[in-house]
Amino acid sequence: MEAGRTRWLPIGLLVAVGIAAAMQFAKVSTIFVEVTEAFGAPEPIAALFISAPAIVGMLLGLTASVAAARIGFRRVILACLAIGGLLSLAESFLPPVPVFLALRLLEGVAHLGLVVSCPVLIILLSTRRHVSLAMSLWGAFFGLAFAITGWAAPAVEARWGVAGVFLGHALVFAVLLIAVVLLLPRVAGDGPQAQVRGDGFFRAHALAYRSPRAFLPGVVFVFHTMMYVPLVAFVPLFADPAIAGVLLVWMPLVSIVGTIVAGFVGQYTVTPPVVLIAGYAGVAVLVLGVWAAVAAEGALLVAPLALMFFSGLVQGAAFGLIPALSTDPVVTSRANGVLTQLGNLGSTIGPPVFASLIAGVGVTAFAPMAWLVVALCAAGGAVSVIALRMTGARPRSGLAVPHDAP
């Protein structure tokens, strides 16, 4: 971690890079119908357009973090911005479906390089008193990407078509590549990391998953990612149609507010595990409140928005937990890899599980969904208690970082 002052300008640039990386998902999700029509793909194949990068992350998240530590994080960011831009440019030609799927898989590799490298540099660019806050800003990148793309992509598609959206994303990558070259400094602690061995796939996983400081943030995070998209997508189905549209827009935006608040709270009052426990408890209580409102046929607005605020607390605190457990670049790189891997796992399996549950009981019965959310919150809260024992619970004005351990 850099001594002296926090370098907010390059940290903001790295958050922007994360937003661009998350747009690799959002640019297809937000105009999914139009993309499906443009390629003339059947629905099962079109669904892979969204999930292909996530599949790569689920399989290679940790491998990417080890590779980034060996190569050097700034170098990886530059390479992945260039590769990501070229891939988006190739997609703008609307190639045949098999080629497009291959490009999406390769985008998963570029995405991984960015999301495992940027947070490590954010930690290195932050002073101890600001690191939790900086990481919470990073934690908002995914929601911000969907909010920005959800606003911009439909307008771009309406004027220039699906190809225009992909070309626009390529231009975003090109601008960020230039900005990183000019504005992102070389940081002490950045690679290549000679102490990182070139271990194979299985040994790299064994090294990461035997270290609580490396795997706990990811384990905390997976319970959140399993329910985040289902909550945003499915809770509005139980609302009055006039309110459903409002919820679809505002639920993810409120979660971003919670993510940023988690950084301030975790930085200046209590440790990130306390914020995690409060976040999971809040989601569990409020999903029962949503259930009560659905059962009473009441207005479904305040409870879902409050629920997403607490969900945002979980997301921000999960990223803040990484530097709270260790600031060693090797360990934090592994932790980001595990978090990325398990986060993609949760995002992949959560929506179909919730969708199957709703399909089985219908949208008139909210109880099974509510109890599944409560169970996930209980599991996430239990892991957060373990993290609390490792970091301590005392209030503080700066971040108390424990001894690093691989």
pLDDT tens column, 262-318: 888 877 778 889 999 999 999 999 999 999 988 887 778 899 999 999 999 999 899
In a domain, 193, yes or no: no
In a domain, 405, yes or no: no
Which among 83, 103, 94, 86 is positioned nearest to 160, based on CA atoms? 94
Query: pLDDT tens for residues 126-171?
Result: 888 888 788 878 888 888 888 888 888 889 999 999 999 999 999 9
Residues 283, 394 within the same domain: yes
Q: Would you say 114 and 80 are in contact if contact means Cβ atoms under 8 Å apart?
A: yes
d(CA 256, CA 138): 11
Q: Would you say 85 and 92 are in contact if contact means Cβ atoms under 8 Å apart?
A: no
Residue entry with tokens 């905390």: 220
Residue 150: both structure tokens together: 């959800």
Residues 177, 230 within the same domain: no
In a domain, 199, yes or no: no
- Domain total for the chain? 2
Residues 177, 297 within the same domain: no
For the chain, the average pLDDT equals: 85
Residues 108, 46 within the same domain: yes
- Among residues 152, 184, 216, the one where a domain terminates is 184
Please return the burial class of 357, using the count of CB atoms within 10 Å of its CB with bins 0-12, 13-18 and 19+.
middle
Residues 386, 295 within the same domain: yes
In a domain, 322, yes or no: yes
Query: pLDDT tens for residues 217-243?
Result: 999 999 999 998 888 878 888 888 888
Residues 13, 133 within the same domain: yes
Residues 330, 274 within the same domain: yes
By residue range, what is the domain housing residue 37? 1-184
Residues 170, 253 within the same domain: no
In a domain, 202, yes or no: no
In a domain, 406, yes or no: no
Task: Check which CATH number belongs to the domain holding 47 and give it.
Answer: 1.20.1250.20
Which among 32, 258, 72 is positioned nearest to 165, based on CA atoms? 32
Residues 229, 169 within the same domain: no
Arithmetic mean of pLDDT, 81-105 = 96
d(CA 323, CA 336): 10
Residues 113, 14 within the same domain: yes
pLDDT band at 397, cuts 50/70/90? very low
In a domain, 203, yes or no: no
Residues 290, 369 within the same domain: yes
Residue 187: both structure tokens together: 């940081």
Output the pTM of the full model.
Answer: 0.77
Considering only CA atoms, give the Rg of the chain.
Answer: 20
In a domain, 115, yes or no: yes
d(CA 215, CA 312): 21
CA 156 to chain centre: 25
Which among 193, 139, 96 is positioned nearest to 406, based on CA atoms? 193
Residues 388, 269 within the same domain: yes
